[in-house]
Amino acid sequence: MRDLSNILQQIINEIPITEQEFTNNLKDNLSSVSCTAPELINMWWNEVHETLWNFIPEKPNKEWQFKILSIFSTKTVEELKEILL
């Protein structure tokens, strides 16, 4: 199973510094994930998914947005571009 804490850290590293609110929301998610019981981690995957789509448009228009979705979904950037554009 993939480690959500690790995934969140990778995503945070891809977000431009100008997107501070997005970064802060994901850092809040990360803090909560680190304190969550294993049987509740699925809830946090859903929460992170919601956070991502609150800050990334339905049709992403920046490369970093595709990179973030790629990290979260495990699809390549090229696959995501075919699906979302």
Q: Residue 1's pLDDT is what?
A: 74
Return the higher-pLDDT residue of 33 and 1: 33
What are the C-alpha distances in Å from 14 to residues 22, 43, 60, 64?
A: 11, 23, 15, 6
Q: What is the tens place of the pLDDT at every residue in 2-20? A: 999 999 999 999 999 999 9
Question: Which two structure tokens, joined as six digits, stand for 53?
Answer: 């789509």
